[in-house]
């Protein structure tokens, strides 16, 4: 219903606190839950909104990704993830996330060319790697080297220039695989392999990781396609911890390279991107199907501190739609590589079956997430566990960058500055050291 004064039609939520009543506008998106705009809460009531972990807090409006956790639905710019994973390719999804629409042929060609042209790193950056210990975790190397990009590409750090923002976005998407592959090569003591612009995004990444100068290397197209699909599945996921970190870092006006380095640091944790590594380690530790009940029991025991890694999600209270595609991809990769009866896959499938029939997991709506099957797949392709979260970072870079750009271009954008419930000592006078009890 239209009105001359739109405010009259705006639904309101009413809150009474400390004898004061405040009406707050309820805003609707295109789909999904409404939000209550609490922006005037403090000014009008003197109270803050308290929500540790942001379980009920929307921090921004966004047009990029939509998740319906109850339905197990994930949409990028409206397109379901399973359609994108099967019918699209990673670069096309990158274009979609960045620009809002799928590219037509000339747009795709221009984008592909631009990404390809930015794959090389400034040669001086290669010397960064030798400053790290060989046994450094590649995510530690990623945090350092990606942060250092801002020391090299000064012509794309002005966040107020739209042209520079676009160049920075493209540089990050293009250079991240090169940085990641070099981190891997350094850790195994092999020479760096330069990017090859005649290969597509995922095939190029495979050759930078697995080719050596002394022998020919041919990329297996089935594996390249599988890796491309894995990248699509990880490309963006709405306001998750690392994306929110990138947005918060960017809200101060920090340059995009520094912001993405902050996102990488956040992704590293085992509750987030580090879960794929933790899930594979857990499956390896379980080892055989007969030990599963012991681990299920441990996961249900709160005093054990143990959780089933690759299980549960803050938003999905249904099967993670990415996990479904990942499980299929896992089977395809193992088949293509001729790996029969992979013991870890047997453990994973049986663990999933038992957990999904167990009251504890059913009641808490804990389902496998994307990390449950990704580790087995990546290991079969040849990546060591330490590289799993690095691959997640390579894929998520486009999501971080798209969300960062959207934030910078949002007229409502302000520096992110949460408040707190202070529970420390109230005002008291300083006592000189000799007079303290
Ligand atoms: N194993 C056993 N119990 C669990 C698990 C699990 N994996 N996950 C949640 N629970 C229990 C938890 O103990 C709690 O029980 P109660 O209500 O009795 O206290 C309840 O389920 C709700 O858990 P929560 O920790 O309050 O939920 P959250 O939304 O804060 O955490 C999560 C979500 C993903 C961090 C958590 O499920 C978890 O730690 N999972 C394992 C790590 C993992 O697989 N992470 C990858 C997430 S998907 C990839 C990504 O986006 O990064």
- Torsion of Cα atoms, 303 then 369 then 376 then 132, to 10°: -80
Residue 331 annotated in active site: no
Chain mean position to CA 400: 8
Residue 310 alpha carbon to ligand 1 centre in Å: 9
When pLDDT is cut at 50, 70 and 90, the band that residue 398 belongs to is very high
Residue closest via CA to ligand 1's atom 51 equals: 272
pTM of the model as a whole: 0.93
Spatial contact of 375 and 276, defined as CB atoms under 8 Å apart: yes
Q: Compute the chain's Rg from CA coordinates.
A: 24
Strand ranges across the sheet with 35-36: 12-17, 20-27, 35-36
Structure tokens given for 76: 């990028």
Residue 158 annotated in active site: no
Spatial contact of 246 and 260, defined as CB atoms under 8 Å apart: yes
Which burial class, exposed, middle or buried, applies to 420 when counting CB atoms under 10 A from its CB (0-12, 13-18, 19+)? exposed
Active-site choice (236, 237, 313, 320): 313
Of 399 and 314, more confident: 399
Ligand 1 site residues (CB inside 6 A) read 53, 237, 240, 271-273, 275, 299, 307-314, 364, 366, 369-371
Closest CA relative to residue 352, chosen from 398, 310, 305: 310
Asked if residue 129 has pLDDT above 80, the reply is yes
Spatial contact of 346 and 97, defined as CB atoms under 8 Å apart: no
Residue 367 alpha carbon to ligand 1 centre in Å: 10
Asked if residue 287 has pLDDT above 90, the reply is yes
Asked if residue 92 has pLDDT above 60, the reply is yes
- Torsion of Cα atoms, 339 then 342 then 348 then 349, to 10°: 70
Of ligand 1's listed atoms, the one at least distance from the Cα of 53 is 30
Structure tokens given for 307: 């959780």
């Amino acid at each position: 219903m239209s009105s001359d004064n739109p405010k009259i039609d705006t639904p309101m939520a009413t809150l009474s606190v400390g004898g004061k009543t405040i009406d707050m506008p309820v805003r609707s998106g295109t789909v999904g839950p409404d939000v209550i705009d609490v922006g005037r809460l403090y000014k009008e009531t003197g109270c803050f909104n308290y929500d540790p972990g942001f379980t009920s807090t929307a921090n921004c409006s966004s047009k990029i990704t939509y998740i319906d956790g109850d339905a197990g639905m994930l949409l990028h710019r409206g397109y379901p993830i399973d359609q994108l994973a099967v019918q699209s390719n990673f670069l096309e999804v990158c274009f979609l996330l960045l620009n809002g629409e799928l590219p037509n042929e000339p747009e795709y060609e221009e984008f592909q060319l631009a990404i390809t042209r930015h794959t090389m790193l400034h040669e001086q950056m290669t010397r960064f790697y030798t400053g790290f210990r060989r046994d450094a975790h590649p995510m530690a190397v990623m945090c350092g080297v990606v942060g250092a990009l801002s020391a090299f590409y000064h012509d794309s750090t002005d966040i107020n220039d739209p042209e520079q923002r676009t160049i920075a976005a493209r540089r990050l998407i293009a250079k991240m695989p090169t940085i990641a592959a070099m981190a891997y090569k350094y850790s195994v003591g092999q020479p760096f392999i330069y990017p090859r612009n005649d290969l597509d995004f995922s095939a190029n990444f495979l050759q930078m990781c697995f080719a050596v100068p002394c022998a020919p290397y041919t990329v297996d197209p089935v594996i390249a396609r599988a890796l491309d699909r894995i990248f699509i599945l990880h490309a963006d996921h709405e306001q998750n911890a690392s994306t929110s970190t990138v947005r918060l870092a960017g809200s101060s006006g920090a340059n995009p390279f520094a912001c993405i380095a902050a996102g990488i640091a956040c992704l590293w944790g085992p509750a987030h991107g580090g879960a794929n590594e933790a899930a594979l380690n857990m499956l390896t530790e379980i080892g055989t199907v007969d030990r599963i009940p012991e681990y299920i029991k441990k996961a249900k025991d709160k005093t054990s501190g143990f959780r089933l890694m690759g299980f549960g999600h803050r938003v999905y209270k249904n099967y993670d739609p990415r996990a479904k595609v990942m499980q299929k991809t896992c089977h395809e990769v193992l088949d293509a590589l001729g790996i029969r009866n992979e013991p870890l896959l047997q453990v994973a499938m049986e663990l999933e079956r038992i957990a999904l029939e167990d009251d504890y997991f059913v009641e808490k709506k804990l389902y496998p997430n994307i990390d449950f099957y990704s580790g087995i797949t990546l290991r079969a392709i040849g990546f060591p566990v330490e590289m799993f979260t690095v691959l997640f970072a390579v894929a998520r870079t486009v999501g971080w960058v798209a969300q960062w750009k959207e934030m910078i271009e949002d007229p409502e954008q302000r520096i992110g500055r949460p408040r707190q419930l202070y529970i420390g000592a109230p005002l008291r006078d300083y006592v000189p050291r000799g007079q303290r009890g």
